[in-house]
């Protein structure tokens, strides 16, 4: 078992838990902030969130791709799936969630923007959840192979 695999597992599981929390608890609370306080809240939320999600997202992406070059034995398909899922979360973030947050920051919260953000967030939640299954399967395989 490699440090790369362990880092990938840790980052992926962290992001999976975080995205479920954000999707189920955090985003649904946005409307409760109130229109007058929402612009400041959203600016602070966006700035702080970047510092929490960027490091593990980078670790997840880089380790997922690094595993392509040195996959655990008999795990090439799982490693490829993991790299695709990690890339997918980045694409959904860059071309979906981040622009939606940008528009919310400029225009304020609206039902249409809330639906758009939620749709991209659910897609990311599915990707991260699937990647969690993949990395746990890789981990199990590595543990079984090491026995």
Q: How far apart are CA 26 and CA 30, in angstroms?
A: 7
| pLDDT averaged over every residue in the chain | 93
Query: What is the distance between the alpha carbons of residues 61 and 63, in angstroms, rounded to a whole number?
Result: 6
pLDDT > 50? residue 147: no
> Which tokens hold the place of 4?
């790369």
Per the CB < 8 A criterion, the answer to whether 92 and 120 are in contact is yes
**Residue 14: is its pLDDT beyond 80?**
yes
C-alpha dihedral sign at 71, 77, 83, 89: negative
Tokens 């400029």 appear where? 106
pLDDT tens-digit readout, 106-124? 998 888 998 999 999 999 9
What b/e string do you get for 56-73 counting C-beta neighbours within 10 Å, with b at 16 or more? bbebbbebbbbbeeebbe
**Global pTM value:** 0.92
pLDDT in tens, 48-93: 999 999 999 999 999 999 999 988 888 999 999 999 999 999 999 9
Whole-number pLDDT of residue 64 = 97
Instruction: Please compute the mean of the pLDDT values over residues 16-38 and round it to a whole number.
Output: 93
Supply the pLDDT for residue 111.
87
Cβ neighbours of 23 (radius 10 Å): 18
CA distance 16 to 11: 9
Q: What's CA 133's distance to the chain center, in Å?
A: 14
């Amino acid at each position: 078992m490699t440090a790369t695999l362990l880092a990938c597992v840790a980052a992926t599981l962290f992001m999976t838990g975080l995205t479920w929390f954000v999707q189920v608890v955090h985003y649904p609370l946005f409307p409760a902030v109130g229109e007058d306080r929402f612009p400041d809240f959203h600016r602070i939320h966006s700035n702080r969130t970047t510092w929490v999600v960027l490091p593990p997202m980078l670790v997840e992406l880089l380790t997922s791709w690094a595993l392509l070059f040195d996959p655990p034995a008999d795990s090439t398909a799982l490693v490829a799936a993991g790299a695709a899922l990690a890339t997918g979360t980045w694409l959904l973030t860059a071309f979906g969630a981040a622009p939606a947050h940008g528009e919310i920051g400029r225009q304020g919260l609206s039902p249409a923007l809330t639906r758009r953000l939620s749709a991209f967030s659910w897609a990311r939640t599915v990707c991260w959840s699937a990647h969690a299954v993949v990395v746990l399967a890789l981990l199990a395989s590595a543990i079984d192979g090491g026995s």
